[in-house]
Structure 1
Amino acid sequence: VLQYFLTGLFSDISSAELSAVAVLGDVPIFTLDPGNWSIHFHWPWVSQAAAEGDTKKLMSQRQIALRSVIRYVHEKVQQTEMDYPLVIQIRGGCELYPNMTSWGFLHIGEGGEDLVTFEVYEQRWEVQQQSQMAEQVIRDLNRQRSIKVLLEYLMSVICQSQIRSLNKYGRATLERQELPVATVFARTPSPHQLLLVCHVTAFYPRPISVAWLRDGQEVPPGPELNTSPILPNADLTYQLYSVLAVAPQDGHSYACRVRHRSLGTRSLLIPWG
């Protein structure tokens, strides 16, 4: 999935601050400097991909497009008599499937709430909240056939092409695999309870399976088992915790089992005690 996120902070009628980031899957591709609207590529191969086809032309037109966004938002605020400050968020992009079909999307929000969405393949804007701003926006934009055709082209044809170019030049980064590192330790919150903690970190890609085994059998989900969400590390790897509550000296053996793509058909098995 290639996604573009644009955030605009409109403090008053004379000011606006725009920032943007693009990600492919969970890999940052570029950021937009809010000060001068310059593009910062996160990887050398992204600039290679950006030099191909229509992407270079689109990058060169970004300042015109961003000024148009600012002007349009200020116009709508005046027409609907909304109050400053306000925050506008735009998320657009596409997902390319293995059979080479794709799904494009474009959503606009205001103040953290969905405002309007563009149905790419139907070339139609739809309201996501009942507000004067949302109604005004879709009335305006649904009249602009040329803009709808352009957006459909960008969210489908151009977006697909960008994914293919990024995959071609960035394969080593996008398909990398990092082995998980797992440790098991215990905490004693009370004399009658022992918390066994399995900490798994430094793995990539994100999908992973972590389970506790009791006497060789997987412990099923229940109140004594608590697993954290998968959390990002600063180095583009991930971590999580799985905690099992047991009675001290209950006579059972425990081990943490980790399965991950980087391990192939193997599993990590880290016993407690």
Structure 2
Amino acid sequence: MREEEADRGGRVRGQGRGDQRSTGWQTGRTFPSPTPAPSGGFSPRRSGGSPRFGEVLGIRGAARAGGAGDRRSRRLPRDAAGAPARGERPPVGSPCGWWLLLLWSLPLASGELCAPLARGRLQCLQVSVFANRSWARTDGLARLGELQAYSWSDGSDAIRFLRPWARSGFSEPQWERLQQILRVYRRSFTRDVREFVKMLRLDYPFEMQVSAGCELCPGNTSESFFHTAFQGKEIMSFQGTHWVPAPDAPSWAGRATKELNQDQGTRKTLQWLLNDTCPQFVRGLLEAGKSELEKQVKPEAWLSAGPPPGPGRLLLVCHVSGFHPKPVWVMWMRGEQEQRGTRRGDVLPHADGTWYLRVTLDVAAREAAGLSCRVRHSSLGGQDIVLHWEGSLSSPWLIPVAILGSLLMSGCVGCLVLWCRKRG
């Protein structure tokens, strides 16, 4: 057992004792090995008569992109690429197809489902702002684990690939097809949502947020998630085979989920996207981006004192910086006892892709001696960094001694000046 120690103001990038902690994980459905798709398109395994990607993206917006799974849609004339011919527009239905298209317009949303394989989580976030009936914008990003790999801005029809390996999940023809779907989707998205607003009698302005994706878990299994929020509050999610309103969602969310659940074809397609295609896509990305995703950088840690919270009190600050990957455990301790008053800040990014964390403890000055900050991180090989707060540096008599020393120094300087003047 070895511990790296430093006094207040010291810095350590080292090793010590410790065990890695991880949160619980859930196993989901087992997924088989990927099935290669024919060149030029997205082809799911034919399980239970699942429709093709271009045939069942859902109501309206998806229908324009390549077909419809909604019972009220009709077949439209299509160009050579399979998109609706110019000037053709499907009949108006309830505006829900854009949720499905979102999942793959930004390969993708949130939640730690399988902590041991957190880097295998494909997370998509979309924010759509509607100021009024005539102004709206939609932006999004997608991350694999903690690395942002894709972005999509309101001013562009194209997905931006932010990592060299980000294209590896699909073939070039599949990405081209996806870009085409996005272009069609952008033309219909705003109109669809506004019709949804009209149907549910909602008021402007508002924001909608969508979080969707999947995560690989131990045991060759996966977990999926798809959540929709209105004004930052979750209103519904896709659970297994159906849309379910959130427990504290407004009453109109129930109407919306009831309408969504009438479209059986779209629900089957969503299951396929989340449970089959998404895990296969993630596995390809994990292999392509392995060197970056598995990078380990040891943290640097140091202690300092923050602004005093009050008379006779100290704010102890433990800084942890430059670590990768993001998960880290930091706690103020007294011996082996965790201090309940420990306050953890946000984990903030550095420009080089590493992270920074600040953890504080408000304590009476007379009780600061004997406290330490303990840091656990995967890069430390099971060894902790332990930084001890030096009690002598924070003793109550330190301030009076410092003041007395300053007065003595000032007196000496004054005497020296007077002596020099007399001799001059």
- TM-score of the superposed pair, with normalisation by structure 1: 0.84
Match of 1:270 among 370, 387, 390: 387
Q: CA deviation at 1:46?
A: 0.5
Which one is further off, 61-70 or 137-146?
Answer: 61-70
Checking the alignment, whether the CA contact within 8 Å between 2:333 and 2:339 is kept in structure 1 is: no
Residue aligning to 2:344: 228
Distance 1:258 1:82 in 2: 48
Checking the alignment, whether the CA contact within 8 Å between 1:76 and 1:136 is kept in structure 2 is: no
C-alpha spacing 1:78/1:255, structure 2 compared with 1 (3 Å) = closer
The aligned length equals 265
Match of 1:125 among 202, 223, 243: 243
Distance 1:67 1:170 in 2: 33
C-alpha spacing 1:89/1:196, structure 2 compared with 1 (3 Å) = closer
C-alpha spacing 1:188/1:17, structure 2 compared with 1 (3 Å) = closer
Residue aligning to 1:4: 124
Checking the alignment, whether the CA contact within 8 Å between 2:332 and 2:339 is kept in structure 1 is: no
Distance 2:307 2:207 in 1: 46
Residue aligning to 2:360: 243
- Is 1:61 aligned to residue 177 of structure 2? no
Match of 1:98 among 218, 231, 238: 218
Q: CA deviation at 1:25?
A: 1.8
Which one is further off, 55-64 or 146-155?
Answer: 55-64
Checking the alignment, whether the CA contact within 8 Å between 1:203 and 1:237 is kept in structure 2 is: yes
- Is 1:199 aligned to residue 319 of structure 2? yes
Residue aligning to 1:257: 374
State the one-letter code of the partner of 2:348: P
Structure 2 residue matching 1:12: 3-state secondary structure: coil
Distance 1:144 1:27 in 2: 35
C-alpha spacing 1:210/1:112, structure 2 compared with 1 (3 Å) = closer
Q: CA deviation at 1:253?
A: 4.8
C-alpha spacing 1:267/1:114, structure 2 compared with 1 (3 Å) = closer
Higher-RCO chain (CA-CA 8 Å, sequence separation at least 6) = 2
Structure number with the higher strand fraction is: 1
Structure 2 residue matching 1:82: 3-state secondary structure: coil
- TM-score of the superposed pair, with normalisation by structure 2: 0.56
C-alpha spacing 1:197/1:100, structure 2 compared with 1 (3 Å) = same
Distance 1:220 1:146 in 2: 52
Q: CA deviation at 1:137?
A: 2.3
Which one is further off, 148-157 or 257-266?
Answer: 257-266
Residue aligning to 1:157: 276
Q: CA deviation at 1:66?
A: 4.0
Which one is further off, 61-70 or 46-55?
Answer: 46-55
Distance 1:76 1:136 in 2: 11
Q: CA deviation at 1:81?
A: 2.7
Q: 5 Å matches for 1:201-220?
A: 201-212=321-332, 214=334, 217-220=335-338
- Is 1:28 aligned to residue 148 of structure 2? yes
Checking the alignment, whether the CA contact within 8 Å between 2:369 and 2:389 is kept in structure 1 is: no
Match of 1:184 among 288, 291, 303: 303
Larger Rg: 2
Checking the alignment, whether the CA contact within 8 Å between 2:319 and 2:359 is kept in structure 1 is: yes
Distance 1:261 1:202 in 2: 13
Structure 2: gaps of 5 or more residues: 1-120, 391-424
State the one-letter code of the partner of 1:149: K
Which one is further off, 69-78 or 27-36?
Answer: 69-78
- CA-based RMSD of the aligned residues comes to 2.6
- Is 1:138 aligned to residue 257 of structure 2? yes
Distance 1:20 1:131 in 2: 28
> How many percent of aligned residue pairs carry the same amino acid?
31
Following superposition, which runs of at least 4 residues in structure 1 exceed 6 angstroms of deviation?
none
Distance 2:254 2:389 in 1: 60
C-alpha spacing 1:20/1:251, structure 2 compared with 1 (3 Å) = closer
State the one-letter code of the partner of 1:198: C
Distance 2:369 2:319 in 1: 21
